[in-house]
């Protein structure tokens, strides 16, 4: 479960995450620790993923998930960007501009806001 606050700015504001999850989401400490254990047992954990925007030009990644609503996920799926698909960053524009990628034999340009919501696992350093 990816929490909305983590995506935005709560990392700067929340100091006690155990207390936050217990008060805001109704967890007790025992269940929270059990959840942490279950998440650590998942083979491709979130810690191993990175937003597409962090890949350098020429670097490859495999799409793990898209953090977004139904509309964004459907739009990206229609373009061939689905979990398990390998993607190559071809070019990155300056100042948070679009990211050009190669996927399934096609080149696509993704806006910065969309590209930062596509999470990948690095496959190799450079083409």
pLDDT band at 20 (very low <50, low <70, confident <90, very high): confident
User: Per-residue pLDDT for 78 more than 50?
Assistant: yes
**pLDDT given for residue 90 in this prediction:** 97
DSSP structure class, residue 46? G
As a whole number of angstroms, the distance between CA 54 and CA 68 comes to 18
As a whole number of angstroms, the distance between CA 89 and CA 100 comes to 6
Both tokens of 124, joined, read: 């190799």
For the structural domain made of 48-124, what CATH number should be given?
A: 2.30.30.90
Neighbouring residues of 96: CB distance < 8 A, sequence distance ≥ 6: 112
Mean pLDDT of the region 70-84:
93
**pLDDT given for residue 35 in this prediction:** 86
Q: List the chain domain ranges.
A: 4-41, 48-124
List the beta strands (DSSP E) in the chain.
Answer: 50-51, 60-66, 86-92, 99-103, 106-110, 118-124
pTM of the model: 0.64
């Amino acid at each position: 479960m990816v929490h909305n606050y983590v995506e935005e700015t709560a990392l700067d504001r929340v100091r006690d995450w155990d207390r936050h999850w217990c008060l805001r989401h109704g967890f007790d400490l025992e269940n929270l620790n059990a959840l942490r254990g279950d998440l650590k047992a998942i083979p491709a954990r979130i810690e191993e993923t990175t937003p597409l925007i962090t890949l350098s030009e020429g670097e490859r990644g495999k799409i793990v998930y898209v953090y977004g609503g139904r509309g964004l996920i459907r739009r990206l799926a229609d373009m061939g960007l689905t979990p398990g698909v390998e993607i190559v960053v071809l070019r990155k524009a300056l100042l948070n501009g679009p990211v050009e990628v190669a996927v399934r034999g096609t080149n696509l340009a993704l806006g910065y806001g969309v590209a930062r919501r596509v999470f990948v696992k690095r496959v190799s350093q450079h083409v």
